[in-house]
């Protein structure tokens, strides 16, 4: 008979090494997968992890794709530290993108320098408002925030589809499900017109700094961390669980909304039915690869961004399906969660 027991003191060294081990096992399993398809695993892995970074355009796209992942993961990490599981960042990103586009297209101050700041503020508030729904239901009715945030993502996706196929569709857009282009003052400035990297990347830098200070140096961040590790001790000390729920979910919603305006006012310049390739879900992996630490999230965001770029490269070069990047993400999350389980628990055989 087997029994699962919690370890009295998990290994800190293994906790830090788990993301590296999970990444290594993912690469090994993926190599076998490529080999079974008849591809040289070394060449394929080179196309995944090296070739996208061999040009300035590749480096630009690498940082551009890492930016929303890092921003969203920073917001999610605040809630995850307190065991508040926001799985609906994708929907919150969509709502932020919708709010930003609505302000950018229909606000009466089209030529004002305040147009872009108002879009940023509107996107953040829209993401927070979408996250406030599960926060209210969890704190008042004790509903499961995992299910509520996930279901609201589908609502946001359908609402986006209605807008770009209906009232917001560009009449000069050849019937494509997208809005008109945003005006010039509603977009972020690029560093070089030859590349798509723009000034929205500074939001990622600010998010990392704010997250590090909040989690490592603020009293509220300490309370949320204690509530996640030892909820009974937190209640005994007078830390209210409802505060952690609201702060955790609103932080995730604000970060996702900010990432949403970074997409529509950045590389895309308009709202479309496919505003995000799954950044809200991939950011969950980024947060756990980074061990819910601000510096680790930067490394995790760069890794997942490279997987997106690598997936596009091998799709063009070897004809592999675009879903290959999702396979990488799924394997990485699977082995990472397995590593976390083995760090915190052990399986004993008893008679």
Radius of gyration of the chain (CA): 21
Q: Is the pLDDT of residue 15 over 80?
A: no
Residue 164 lies inside a defined structural domain of this protein: yes
Instruction: Please provide residue 348's backbone torsions phi and psi, each rounded to the nearest 5 degrees.
Output: -115, 145
Q: Is the pLDDT of residue 255 over 70?
A: yes
pLDDT at 258: 97
Residue 339 lies inside a defined structural domain of this protein: no
Q: Where are the alpha helices (DSSP H) in the chain?
A: 12-36, 41-49, 56-81, 89-106, 115-141, 145-165, 201-217, 219-229, 231-236, 241-263, 279-289, 294-318, 324-344
Of residues 111 and 297, the one with the higher pLDDT is 297
Q: Is the pLDDT of residue 86 over 90?
A: yes
Range in 12-26, 40-54, 73-87, 134-148 with the lowest mean pLDDT = 12-26
pLDDT at 229: 64
What are the beta bridge partners of residue 346?
5
pLDDT at 33: 85
Label residue 110 by pLDDT band (50, 70, 90): confident
pLDDT at 7: 73
pLDDT at 247: 93
Residues 67 and 204: their CA atoms lie apart, in Å, by 5
Residue 185 lies inside a defined structural domain of this protein: yes
Structural domains in the chain (count): 1
- Which domain does 223 fall in, by range? 51-324
Of residues 157 and 330, the one with the higher pLDDT is 157
Of residues 99 and 326, the one with the higher pLDDT is 99
Residue 35 lies inside a defined structural domain of this protein: no
Residues 318 and 261: their CA atoms lie apart, in Å, by 34
CATH code, domain with 214 = 1.10.3470
Residue 20's SS3 state is helix
pLDDT at 234: 66
Averaged pLDDT of the chain = 89
* pTM for the whole structure: 0.92
CB 304 within 8 A of CB 285: yes
Task: Work out the average pLDDT over 325-341.
Answer: 83
Task: Work out the average pLDDT over 227-253.
Answer: 80
Residue 46 lies inside a defined structural domain of this protein: no
Residue 28 lies inside a defined structural domain of this protein: no
Residue 315 lies inside a defined structural domain of this protein: yes
Residue 11 lies inside a defined structural domain of this protein: no
């Amino acid at each position: 008979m087997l029994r699962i027991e919690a370890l009295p003191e998990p290994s800190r060294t293994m906790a830090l090494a788990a993301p590296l081990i999970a990444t290594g096992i993912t690469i090994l399993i993926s190599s076998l997968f490529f080999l079974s398809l008849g591809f040289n695993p070394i060449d394929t892995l080179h196309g995944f992890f090296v070739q996208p970074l061999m040009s300035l355009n590749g480096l630009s796209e690498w940082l551009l794709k890492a930016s929303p992942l890092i921003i969203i993961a920073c917001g999610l990490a605040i809630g995850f530290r307190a065991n508040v599981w926001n799985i609906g960042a994708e929907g919150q990103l969509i709502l932020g993108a919708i709010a930003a586009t609505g302000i950018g297209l229909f606000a009466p101050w089209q030529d004002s320098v305040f147009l872009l700041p108002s879009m940023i503020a509107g996107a953040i508030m829209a993401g927070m408002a979408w996250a406030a729904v599960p926060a209210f239901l969890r704190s008042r009715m004790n509903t499961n925030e995992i299910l509520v945030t996930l279901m609201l993502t589908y609502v946001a996706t359908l609402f986006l589809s209605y807008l770009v196929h209906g009232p917001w569709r560009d009449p000069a857009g050849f019937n494509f499900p997208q809005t008109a282009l945003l005006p010039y003052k509603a977009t972020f400035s690029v560093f070089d017109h030859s590349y798509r990297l723009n000034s929205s990347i500074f939001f990622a830098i600010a998010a990392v700094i704010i997250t590090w200070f909040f989690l490592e140096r603020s009293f509220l961040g300490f309370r949320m961390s204690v509530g996640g590790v030892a909820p009974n001790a937190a209640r005994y000390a007078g830390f209210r669980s409802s505060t952690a729920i609201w702060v955790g979910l609103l932080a995730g919603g604000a970060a996702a909304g900010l990432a949403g305006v970074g997409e529509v006012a950045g590389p895309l310049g308009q709202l479309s039915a496919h505003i995000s390739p799954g950044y809200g879900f991939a950011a969950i992996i980024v947060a756990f690869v980074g061990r819910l630490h601000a510096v680790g999230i930067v490394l995790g965001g760069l890794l997942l961004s490279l997987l997106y770029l690598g997936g596009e490269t091998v799709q063009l070069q070897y004809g592999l399906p675009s879903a290959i990047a999702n396979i990488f993400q799924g394997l990485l999350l699977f082995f990472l969660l397995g590593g976390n389980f083995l760090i915190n628990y052990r399986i004993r055989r008893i008679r």
